[in-house]
């Protein structure tokens, strides 16, 4: 009798729900030194060769690894001009199931607040029943790290930033991250949003066969501001509350300092003054090793 119950329970399976992942990616200029538009404080992107932002690539890599282990449907979405379509083909070539380009003259010049609103409008309108949104922690062109958290706020879902590792466990996600001198392990209910740190998930190289296959079915969904429910006069640049006051290249100043004296004195002084910096760089507390027979 027990055996037959086992058999019966064995036959009954909860219908498997395909995990729906949305990866927000961005095309950034390939070179760091680019002319700026002094009036708007934005990059002259038309002069640049584009590439997938490195932290977006890591967010995509984390999604691909989830897909490989748990199965998932990955939607790669980007907001940008027509040339940004290239990174959607790249995402598809890597293993994303679909690519969506949010493009409209009215979206140009959006700050992080408007970008989050537009992305949120897309997810709410077109991705009902989604489980996880993945973003890069910060893009290489502006480094604000604002879009991910703002998008979570717009969608009213929980968020974790700067993840090193993302693991799906049923309806929850476990996130490992390195914050200051600590490693944290966090659980979060789904749906939720995670931004993936630049140091995590080394992106895989694109296989050439993947590129060819992606272009055999080159369809990329294009949605305008109107498609997402914004009115005809929508102008992100006008509605963006952020005003860029100044943009300039940072200058780095190095000041070399030579510690003088006996070896022990110099080493003591070095750890006294720079111990925290060295500990942080090495990722371990050096104080525990200070009397290791030296």
Partner 1 sequence: MEFNPCMKHQLIRKTVREFAESEIKPHVSTLDRESRFPWDIVEKMKPLNFFGLQVPHALGGAGLDTISYAVVIEELSRVSAAVGLCVTVHNSVGIFPILEFGTDKQIKRFVPPMARGDSIGAFCLTEANAGSDAGGVETHAVEVEDGFILNGTKIFVTNGGVCGTVLVFAVTEGEDRKSNTGVFVIEGDRPGFSVGEIEDLCGMRANPVSSLFFEDCWVPKTNLLGRLGQGIRIGLTALDTGRIGVAAQALGIAQAAFEDSVSYARERQQFNRPLSKFQTIQNYLAEMATAIDASRLLLYRAAAQKDSGRPFSAQASMAKLHCSATARDVTDKAVQIHGGYGYSKEYDVERYFRDAKVTQIYEGTSEVQRMVIANSILSQPR
- Dist. CA 209–CA 94, nearest whole Å: 10
Question: Which of the residues 194 through 253 are near partner 1 (CB under 8 A)?
Answer: 205-209, 211-213, 215
CB of 203 to partner 1, least distance (A): 10
Single residue of 26, 45, 89, 131 touching partner 1 by CB under 8 A: 89
- Per the structure block, which two tokens stand in for 137? 């922690």
Q: Please state, in angstroms and as integers, the Cα–Cα distance from residue 71 to each residue in 21, 68, 104, 170, 191, following that order.
A: 10, 6, 33, 12, 16
Of 206 and 237, which CB lies nearer to partner 1 in the complex structure? 206
Of 49 and 280, which CB lies nearer to partner 1 in the complex structure? 49
Task: Check if the beta carbon of residue 156 is closer than 8 Å to that of residue 122.
Answer: no
Of 84 and 151, which CB lies nearer to partner 1 in the complex structure? 84
Single residue of 51, 108, 145, 237 touching partner 1 by CB under 8 A: 51
Buried/exposed 80-113: b ≥16 CB within 10 Å, e otherwise: bbeebbbbbbbbbbbbbeebbbbbbebbbbbbbb
Q: Please state, in angstroms and as integers, the Cα–Cα distance from residue 267 to each residue in 86, 121, 279, following that order.
A: 52, 57, 14
CA 28, 151, 247, 256 torsion-angle sign: negative
| Other C-beta atoms lying within 10 Å of the C-beta of residue 45 | 18
CB of 282 to partner 1, least distance (A): 24
What is the x/- site pattern for partner 1, positions 59-88, by CB under 8 A?
--------------------------xx--
Of 31 and 258, which CB lies nearer to partner 1 in the complex structure? 31
Task: Check if the beta carbon of residue 43 is closer than 8 Å to that of residue 141.
Answer: yes
Of 90 and 116, which CB lies nearer to partner 1 in the complex structure? 90
What is the x/- site pattern for partner 1, positions 92-121, by CB under 8 A?
-x----------------------------
CB of 127 to partner 1, least distance (A): 25
Residues that bind partner 1 (rule: CB under 8 A) add up to a total of: 15
Q: What contacts 94, CB < 8 A, 6 or more positions away?
A: 60, 64, 204, 206, 210
CB of 24 to partner 1, least distance (A): 20
CB of 165 to partner 1, least distance (A): 23
Pairing mode of beta strands 192-196, 159-163: parallel
CB of 50 to partner 1, least distance (A): 9
| Other C-beta atoms lying within 10 Å of the C-beta of residue 278 | 12
Extended strands (E) in the chain: 19-24, 27-29, 36-37, 42-43, 50-52, 72-79, 98-102, 132-136, 159-163, 165-169, 172-179, 182-189, 192-196, 221-223
CB of 35 to partner 1, least distance (A): 18
Of 42 and 139, which CB lies nearer to partner 1 in the complex structure? 139
What is the x/- site pattern for partner 1, positions 138-177, by CB under 8 A?
----------------------------------------
Residues of this chain that bind partner 1 (CB under 8 A):
51, 85-86, 89-90, 93, 205-209, 211-213, 215
């Amino acid at each position: 009798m027990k055996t037959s119950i086992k058999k019966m329970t064995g036959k009954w399976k909860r219908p498997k729900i395909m995990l729906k992942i949305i990866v927000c990616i961005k095309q950034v200029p390939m070179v760091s030194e680019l002319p700026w538009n002094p009036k708007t404080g934005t990059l002259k992107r038309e002069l640049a060769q584009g590439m997938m932002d490195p932290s977006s690539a890591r967010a995509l890599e984390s999604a691909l690894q989830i897909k490989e282990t748990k199965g998932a449907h990955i939607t790669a979405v980007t907001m940008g001009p027509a040339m940004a379509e290239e990174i959607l083909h790249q995402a598809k070539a890597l293993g994303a199931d679909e690519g969506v380009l949010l493009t409209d003259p009215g979206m140009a010049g959006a700050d992080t607040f408007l970008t989050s609103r537009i992305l949120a409008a897309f997810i709410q309108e077109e991705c009902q029943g989604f489980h996880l949104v993945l973003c890069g922690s910060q893009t290489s062109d502006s480094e604000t790290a604002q879009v991910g958290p703002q998008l979570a706020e717009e969608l009213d879902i929980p968020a974790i930033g700067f993840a090193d590792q993302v693991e799906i466990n049923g309806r929850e996600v476990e996130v490992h991250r390195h914050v200051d001198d600590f490693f944290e392990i966090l659980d979060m209910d789904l749906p939720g949003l995670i931004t993936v740190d630049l140091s995590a998930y080394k992106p895989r190289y694109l296989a050439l066969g993947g590129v060819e296959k992606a272009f055999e079915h080159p369809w990329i969904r294009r949605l305008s501001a109107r498609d997402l429910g914004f009115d005809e006069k929508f102008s992100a640049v006008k509605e963006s509350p952020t005003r860029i006051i100044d943009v300039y290249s940072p200058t780095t100043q190095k000041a070399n300092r030579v510690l003088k004296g006996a070896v022990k004195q110099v080493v003591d002084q070095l750890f006294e003054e720079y111990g925290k910096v060295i500990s942080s760089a090495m990722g371990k507390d050096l104080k525990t090793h200070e009397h290791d027979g030296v």
